[in-house]
């Protein structure tokens, strides 16, 4: 199974999560983690699983991630399973006004997932968010481990699905 992790990162936190996800790939698969500027659309042709991650900026993915997805031709992800993640600030310790605003704005991962599906991708797992302590991070304690465990679980599920699919007559 070929997996491509495409991410953007301003302060390095989303990059750490992307690397943890790529590092969780079992030895029998091929995985590439690419910063969004390095990601090449033709590589999508040989990709089984596309994982896209972005910091949440104003409730959305960064412009570079949005542009990357926009450039994928219509139906270009028809044979690709897709997963989205983001990094975000926890609303828990914020005042009621800011909590309300953050809920109103939402987070990047859900929007990324919707856009990938609109290009034909089939969603392989619900969008996930990983918490940073402040705008510049660091990641909240335990989040990298959670990202690794999340990736091991979903990548394992994809392997099983792919083997089952290929085994069909
Ligand atoms: C311009 C800007 C807007 C942001 N907007 C949000 C937001 O709407 N919701 C949120 O949870 N975090 C927001 N953040 C915090 C980011 O989630 C945080 O900077 C990011 O997760 C760090 O990831 P990075 O190190 O990969 O850049 C914002 C940060 C910046 C710089």
In a domain? residue 117? yes
Q: Is the pLDDT of residue 169 over 60?
A: no
**Over pLDDT 90: what percentage of the chain?**
72
Is the CB of 54 within 6 Å of ligand 1?
no
Domain, as residue range, for 102: 2-164
Spacing, Cα 169 to ligand 1 middle (Å): 47
In a domain? residue 14? yes
Structural domain tally of the chain?
A: 1
Dump pLDDT digits (tens) for 49-58: 999 999 999 9
Buried b (16+ CB within 10 A) or exposed e, 100-133: eebeeeebbbebbbebbeebbbeebbebbbbbbe
Q: Give the residue, out of 19, 55, 101, with the most ligand 1 atoms within 8 A of its beta carbon, to mutate for a pocket test.
A: 55
In a domain? residue 108? yes
In a domain? residue 82? yes
Spacing, Cα 168 to ligand 1 middle (Å): 44
Q: How many CB atoms lie within 10 A of CB 24?
A: 19
Return the CATH number at 34.
3.40.50.360
Is the CB of 12 within 6 Å of ligand 1?
yes
In a domain? residue 121? yes
In a domain? residue 169? no
In a domain? residue 95? yes
């Amino acid at each position: 199974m070929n997996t491509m992790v495409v991410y953007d990162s301003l302060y390095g936190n989303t990059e750490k999560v992307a690397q943890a996800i790529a590092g969780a790939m079992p030895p029998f698969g091929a995985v590439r983690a690419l910063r969004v500027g390095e990601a090449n659309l033709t590589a999508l042709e040989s990709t089984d699983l596309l994982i896209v991650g972005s910091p949440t900026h104003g409730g959305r993915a960064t412009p570079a991630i949005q542009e990357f997805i926009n450039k994928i031709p219509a139906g270009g992800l028809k044979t690709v399973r897709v997963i989205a993640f983001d990094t975000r600030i926890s609303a828990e310790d914020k005042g009621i006004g800011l909590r309300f605003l953050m809920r109103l704005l939402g987070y990047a991962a859900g929007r990324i997932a919707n856009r990938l599906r609109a290009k034909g991708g089939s969603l392989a797992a619900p969008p996930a968010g990983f918490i940073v302590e402040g705008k510049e991070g660091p990641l909240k304690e335990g989040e990298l481990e959670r990202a690794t465990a999340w990736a091991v679980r979903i990548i394992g599920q994809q392997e099983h699905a792919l083997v089952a699919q290929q085994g069909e007559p």
